[in-house]
Amino acid sequence: MSDGGIDIRSIRNIGIAAHIDAGKTTTSERILFYTGKIHKIGEVHEGAATMDFMEQERERGITISSAATTCYWKNHMINLIDTPGHVDFTMEVERSLRVLDGAVAVFCAVGGVEPQSETVWRQLDKYKVPRIAFVNKMDRVGANFFDVMSQIEERLGATPVPIQLPMGCEEAFAGIIDLVEMRAIEYTDELGTRMELEEIPQAYVDEAQKWRERLVESLAEVDDEIMEAYLDGKEVSREKIKEALRFGTINLKLVPLLCGSALKNKGIQLLLDAVIDYLPSPLDIPPIKGVNPLTGEEVVRHTDPEGPLTALAFKVLVDPYVGRVVYTRIYCGTLHTGMSVLNATTGRKERVGRILRIHANKREDIDSAFAGTIIAIPGLKGTRTGDTLCDEKEPIVLEGMNIPEPVISLA
Ligand code: GDP
């Protein structure tokens, strides 16, 4: 099953979680900037960008102003879901976390783990959302990658595993060492166009070697094959390291740690690569549960485009161009325009006239959307945030969501 060349395995539904001021907005904008350079899937205009381009995009208001924004990176579809900045466990937070398959936790390299980042982290823990951590603002005075790493370990009880090292910091933050590929990326211009060095600079070789060994050591804990190689003193291949990192991240055993400076355009492209490499696709997440509102029986639905339609309306917004739209995550089945769906929460049927994919600066009409995707549906008058939309023949109300209204009429 594919959608414009994208299959379910290539979808990433992610949120960016952060303490206020850590750089969530800047990081999101930079992600849209770099992914915006890919106008068609597979067509990458590398190095073609100028500062002008960025300014133009800014003028057009290329910011995350919607509940979810679709962008593409290296033949993958990334749906960036807006996570509310609330600090408490409200229904709103619950709903937005429910639709994420993975998250990027952004920390300030100076402030580290702040009280609010702790709250957000605990929420992600509660919903078992796999995550990677991005230590932002490496260019600021007082930035310290290793302090933030210790704080993540001590205060959040997580196992951060550096997969990068900063080359220099504060004013002198010039690049990043990639511990998986064992190469250095030096940034030479304002747009963060990267220059790959063939070798890690001599001054960093020992440190990089030490942290590469630690990386392998941490992975030995989650992968038997790496453990054996480690004990035998054998080399572990780059592919094997990536596979174990992905497995460990998806299974919540470890958190890959990255660094950069969103403001200075450093590290964003590597962050996007890590989203693709280590965060789960909709096929990697556990099946979603709910209840049949007619029988009270528990129902389990897998990410299957051929299965019965199961979708969650997670946010209702008024779009300046389209009017009221219902942001919807499809967990199972395929939604087509013209289809009649059951809102199992209200017991009423609704017709889906249009399906929209929301990009940073445009709305795209699509004919269908399958399990794993996130779309916006205009014109669903009776659907509220938290309602379950499904196939009327196989009704389901998703667990923990709005309780169905007392009288259910399937007429
Ligand atoms: P948010 O509250 O988490 O969305 O944070 P913002 O993205 O709005 O950033 C807060 C402030 O930090 C703004 O003034 C940004 O320009 C600044 N900022 C963001 N990223 C960086 C960075 O990498 N380096 C520096 N020095 N400042 C940054």
Q: What is the pLDDT of residue 65?
A: 54
Q: Kindly state the tokens that stand for 160.
A: 């951060």
pLDDT by 10s per residue, the chain, length 411:
445 557 999 999 999 988 888 999 899 988 988 888 543 333 333 433 333 444 544 444 434 457 889 999 999 999 999 876 555 556 666 777 889 999 999 999 999 998 878 888 988 998 899 999 999 999 999 999 999 999 999 999 999 999 999 999 999 999 999 999 999 998 877 777 777 777 899 999 999 999 999 999 999 999 999 999 999 989 999 999 999 999 999 999 999 999 999 999 899 999 999 999 999 999 999 999 999 999 999 999 999 999 999 999 999 988 878 889 999 999 999 999 999 999 999 999 999 999 999 987 788 999 999 999 999 999 999 999 999 999 999 999 998 888 887 655 554
Q: What is the pLDDT of residue 359?
A: 87
Q: Cα(249)–Cα(263) distance, rounded to whole angstroms?
A: 27
Q: What is the pLDDT of residue 82?
A: 83
State whether the beta carbon of 116 lies less than 6 angstroms from ligand 1. Answer: no
What residues contact 48, with CB distance under 8 A and at least 6 apart?
37
Q: What is the pLDDT of residue 400?
A: 81
Q: Which of 19, 20, 21, 176 to mutate to test the pocket of ligand 1 (most atoms within 8 A of CB)?
A: 21
Which strands sit side by side in the sheet containing 160-162, from one edge to the other? 68-73, 76-81, 11-18, 102-108, 131-136, 255-259, 160-162
pTM, entire model: 0.91
Q: Cα(17)–Cα(116) distance, rounded to whole angstroms?
A: 10
The H-or-E segment that residue 125 falls in is helix 115-126
State whether the beta carbon of 21 lies less than 6 angstroms from ligand 1. Answer: yes
Q: Cα(230)–Cα(177) distance, rounded to whole angstroms?
A: 22
Q: Which of 20, 26, 268 to mutate to test the pocket of ligand 1 (most atoms within 8 A of CB)?
A: 26
Three-state DSSP at 371 gives coil
Contact 343, 350 (CB under 8 A): yes
Q: What is the pLDDT of residue 321?
A: 80
Q: What is the pLDDT of residue 52?
A: 40
Q: Cα(350)–Cα(119) distance, rounded to whole angstroms?
A: 37
Contact 316, 328 (CB under 8 A): no
Give φ, ψ of 98 to 5 degrees: -65, -30
Inter-CA distances, 283 with 72, 108, 301, 368, Å = 18, 32, 12, 19
Q: Kindly state the tokens that stand for 373.
A: 């995707």
